[in-house]
């Protein structure tokens, strides 16, 4: 029961951060493996499942505000799904320990992006001041 | 590289990362999208594009490494509630400090995975 509650609060915090664009999905994966001791592969599945309602809910708010660019969505989602199928197939074939180092390097990169970027895309950033764009 | 081609490439890279590591695709995609789109628009595209990528990767994960229901249920419930809370408060909360804290946690995680 205690572990389920801890998992819920981690997912709640990560879901909120995801909706704000602060890397919540990666954070939940780390919280599950490093803090709650969940097996790496199961944590990955949990993280992917978590993202579905979290992103679905956040997306409803963004769509309502007219922020969804469908052309850019097509350009990213179609190759993205093909890439996801490739990546998931590779993950199933490879030993989980083989992926530890590449994942560690990826985390250093992702952490560096958050630490050193100027915050373009922040939910509370300056770029939000002009949203929605003023009509000419 | 043209912006459109960059988006195709970033989408594919985000999918591979997400499928391989079980997350992190948004971290690859968002910086590319913010080069061409305004902040909230970039973010909305990023979230919407990650949804089908996560769905196919999650299906593969459920087949190869199914988690227990007591683990999956709080993740789904917490994710849904967090997504609603975050969506309602998007743009109202300054996230500069949170970005730095999340970045530091990821660097810590990276070091733990490398050691």
What is the dihedral sign for C-alpha B80, A123, B102, B53?
Answer: positive
Establish if A8 belongs to a structural domain: yes
- Give the domain range for residue A80: 73-119
- Give the domain range for residue B19: 1-66
Chain A window 26-65: which residues touch B at a Cβ cutoff of 8 Å? 26-30, 34, 38-39, 41-63, 65
Task: Give the one of A90, A109, A127 whose C-beta lies nearest to B38's C-beta.
Answer: A127
Shared domain check, A110 and A63: no
Convert the pLDDT of each residue in A77-120 to its tens digit. Answer: 999 999 999 999 999 999 988 999 999 999 999 999 889 876 54
Q: How many CB atoms lie within 10 A of CB B40?
A: 25
Q: Which residues contact B54 (CB under 8 A, 6 or more apart)?
A: A25, A48, A51, A52, A55, A84, B18, B25
Shared domain check, B56 and B23: yes
Shared domain check, B60 and B75: no
Using a cut of 0.90, tell me whether the model's pTM lies above it.
no
- In Å, how far is B32's CA from the nearest CA of chain A? 10
Q: Which residues contact B2 (CB under 8 A, 6 or more apart)?
A: none
pLDDT band at B50 (very low <50, low <70, confident <90, very high): very high
Q: How many domains does chain B have?
A: 2
Shared domain check, A60 and A10: yes
Shared domain check, B41 and B72: no
CA–CA dist B78, A18 (Å, integer): 12
Shared domain check, A88 and A44: no
Q: What is the per-residue pLDDT for A32? A: 95
Q: Do B51 and A51 touch (CB under 8 A)?
A: yes
Shared domain check, A58 and A6: yes
| Residue among A4, A8, A16 with most chain B CBs within 10 A, to mutate | A16
- Within 8 A of B81 by CB-CB distance, chain A residues are 12, 15
Convert the pLDDT of each residue in B95-107 to its tens digit. Answer: 888 889 999 999 9
- Within 8 A of B97 by CB-CB distance, chain A residues are none
Token code pair at residue A62: 């963004």
Shared domain check, B98 and B72: yes
Shared domain check, A58 and A34: yes
Shared domain check, A50 and A4: yes
Q: Does A98 touch chain B if contact means CB atoms closer than 8 Å?
A: no
Q: How many domains does chain A have?
A: 2
Query: Contact A84/B16 with Cβ under 8 angstroms?
Result: yes
Shared domain check, B1 and B55: yes
DSSP H helices, chain A, are 2-20, 24-30, 40-64, 70-93, 100-116
Burial class (CB in 10 A: 0-12, 13-18, 19+), A10: buried
Token code pair at residue B27: 């971290």
Shared domain check, B15 and B48: yes
Q: Calculate mean pLDDT across residues B55-78.
A: 94
Length of chain B equals: 115
CA nearest to A85, candidates B31, B61, B24: B61
CA nearest to B43, candidates A47, A43, A119, A11: A119
Q: Do B112 and A104 touch (CB under 8 A)?
A: yes
Q: Do A42 and B65 touch (CB under 8 A)?
A: yes
CA–CA dist A56, A15 (Å, integer): 11
CA–CA dist A1, B61 (Å, integer): 24
Convert the pLDDT of each residue in A118-136 to its tens digit. Answer: 654 444 443 443 334 434 3
Shared domain check, A112 and A84: yes
CA–CA dist B88, A23 (Å, integer): 18
Q: Is a pLDDT exceeding 90 seen at residue A5?
A: yes
Q: Do A76 and B7 touch (CB under 8 A)?
A: yes
Q: Is a pLDDT exceeding 50 seen at residue B110?
A: yes
Q: What is the mean pLDDT of chain A?
A: 84
Shared domain check, A83 and A32: no
Q: What is the per-residue pLDDT for A119? A: 56
DSSP H helices, chain B, are 3-21, 25-36, 39-64, 69-89, 96-114
Chain B window 22-81: which residues touch A at a Cβ cutoff of 8 Å? 22-27, 29-31, 33-34, 36-58, 60-62, 64-67, 70-81
Q: Calculate mean pLDDT across residues A46-69.
A: 86
Establish if A32 belongs to a structural domain: yes
Shared domain check, B38 and B90: no
Token code pair at residue B63: 């087949």
Q: Do B107 and A22 touch (CB under 8 A)?
A: no
CA nearest to B12, candidates A78, A115, A131, A105: A78
Shared domain check, A98 and A114: yes
Shared domain check, B50 and B104: no
- The complex scores an ipTM of 0.91
């Amino acid at each position: 029961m205690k572990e389920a509650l801890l998992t819920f609060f981690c997912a709640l915090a990560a879901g909120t951060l995801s909706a704000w664009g602060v890397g919540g999905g990666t954070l939940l994966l780390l919280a599950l493996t490093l803090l709650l001791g969940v097996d790496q592969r199961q944590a990955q599945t949990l993280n992917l499942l978590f993202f579905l309602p979290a992103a679905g809910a956040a997306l409803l708010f963004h769509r309502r505000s007219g922020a969804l660019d469908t052309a850019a969505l097509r350009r990213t989602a179609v190759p993205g799904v093909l890439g996801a199928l490739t990546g998931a197939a590779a993950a199933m074939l490879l030993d989980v320990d083989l992926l530890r180092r590449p994942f560690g390097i990826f985390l250093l990169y992702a952490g560096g992006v958050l630490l050193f970027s100027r915050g373009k895309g922040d939910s509370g950033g300056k770029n939000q001041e002009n949203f929605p764009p003023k009509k000419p | 590289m043209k912006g459109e081609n960059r988006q195709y490439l970033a989408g594919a890279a985000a999918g591979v990362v997400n499928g391989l590591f079980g997350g992190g695709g948004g971290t690859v995609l968002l910086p590319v999208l913010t080069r061409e789109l305004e902040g909230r628009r970039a973010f909305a595209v990023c979230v919407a594009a990650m949804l089908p990528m996560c769905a196919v990767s999650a299906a593969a994960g459920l087949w190869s490494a199914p988690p227990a229901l007591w683990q999956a249920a709080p993740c789904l419930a917490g994710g849904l509630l967090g997504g609603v809370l975050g969506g309602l408060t998007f743009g109202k909360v300054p996230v500069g400090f949170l970005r730095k804290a999340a970045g530091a946690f990821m660097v810590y995680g990276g070091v733990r995975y490398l050691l």
